[in-house]
């Protein structure tokens, strides 16, 4: 349980930071696709008997390379979909080579937060720290590129490089979150709290801080309720993410708060 709380807190804080830009930049599809794209890495690691985090990071890199390369020749959403299809196909192949097929699928897709070992804390903390520091270091160019690509280019920032940098950060955050909440729920953790935060304040700094706070509350409450009810952690993560977004939208609708202006 101690390992669970430590790793879940690290993953949630990173998801809150990255999720702010996922929402502001309209990158929800990429935030959904990249975790699924990293899942073959965990399957390959299980098949080869190597560290799972290494496999996740490597395939996260493949996802970034595929999306970035194909986006230069077509629409970004099409490039994301094509990359996702190819890597999911590889994941199916790797999983078919394992001896515990159903158990591996469940753990990769829905997470195994109570199965985190002490040896997993270091790699997850290291990759999360790199992603968080990169977000903070690139805060201004990322925000400027989200508001206006033309303005960012006029200020000397290269929109293509900013997009690539953000994809790399998103891939790292997805890779470390996948063993904890699973490929299908990384999206909920990144988008739900960040969307609620964006609707509750129009100040970027406060919105990012609130996104982190809501992500932490989500995973803490999910773990506690899972322990008490014996229901899956993922159910509570998804439910609280949707609830946070609904409350944020309700506040905007009734004029209690103002949404963040692009």
> What average pLDDT is seen over the chain?
78
Is residue 170 domain-resident? Answer: yes
Q: Per residue in 209-255, pLDDT tens?
A: 999 999 999 989 988 888 888 887 778 888 887 887 787 777 555 45
Between CA 121 and CA 117 the distance in angstroms is 7
Number of domains making up the chain: 1
pLDDT of residue 236: 84
Give the mean pLDDT of 99-120. Answer: 66
CA–CA separation, 99 and 200 (whole Å): 48
- Establish if 259 belongs to a structural domain: no
Question: What would the pLDDT profile of 120-158 be if each residue is shown by its tens digit?
Answer: 788 888 888 999 999 988 888 888 777 766 666 666 667
- Between 34-38, 156-160, 256-260, the lowest mean confidence (pLDDT) is in 256-260
Residue 134 sits in a domain whose CATH number is 1.10.3470.10
The answer as to whether 135 is a domain residue is yes
Helices in the chain by DSSP H: which ranges?
2-24, 28-48, 52-71, 76-96, 101-110, 118-137, 139-147, 149-154, 159-181, 183-200, 204-229, 233-253
Domain membership flag for residue 155? yes
């Amino acid at each position: 349980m101690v390992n669970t709380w430590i790793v879940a807190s690290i993953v949630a804080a990173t998801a809150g930071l990255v999720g702010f830009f996922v929402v502001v930049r309209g990158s929800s599809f990429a935030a959904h696709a990249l975790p699924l794209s990293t899942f073959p890495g965990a399957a390959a690691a299980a098949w080869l008997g190597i560290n799972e985090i290494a496999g996740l990071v490597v395939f996260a890199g493949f996802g970034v390379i595929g999306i970035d390369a194909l986006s230069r020749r077509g629409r970004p959403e099409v490039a994301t979909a094509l990359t996702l299809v190819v890597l999911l196909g590889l994941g199916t192949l790797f999983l078919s080579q394992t001896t515990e097929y159903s158990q591996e699928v469940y753990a990769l897709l829905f997470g195994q937060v109570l199965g985190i070992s002490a040896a997993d804390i270091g790699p997850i903390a290291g990759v999360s720290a790199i992603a968080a520091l990169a977000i903070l270091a690139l805060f201004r160019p990322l925000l400027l590129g989200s508001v206006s690509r033309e303005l960012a280019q006029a200020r000397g920032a290269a929109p293509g490089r900013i997009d690539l940098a953000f994809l790399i950060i998103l891939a790292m955050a997805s890779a470390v979150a996948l063993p904890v909440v699973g490929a299908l729920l990384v999206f909920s953790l990144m988008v739900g709290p960040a969307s609620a935060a964006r609707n509750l304040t129009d100040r970027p700094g406060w919105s990012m801080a609130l996104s982190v706070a809501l992500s932490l509350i989500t995973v803490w409450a999910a773990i506690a309720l899972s322990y008490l009810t014996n229901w899956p952690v993922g159910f509570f993560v998804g439910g609280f993410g949707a609830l946070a977004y609904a409350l944020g939208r309700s506040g905007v609708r009734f004029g209690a708060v103002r949404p963040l202006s692009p």
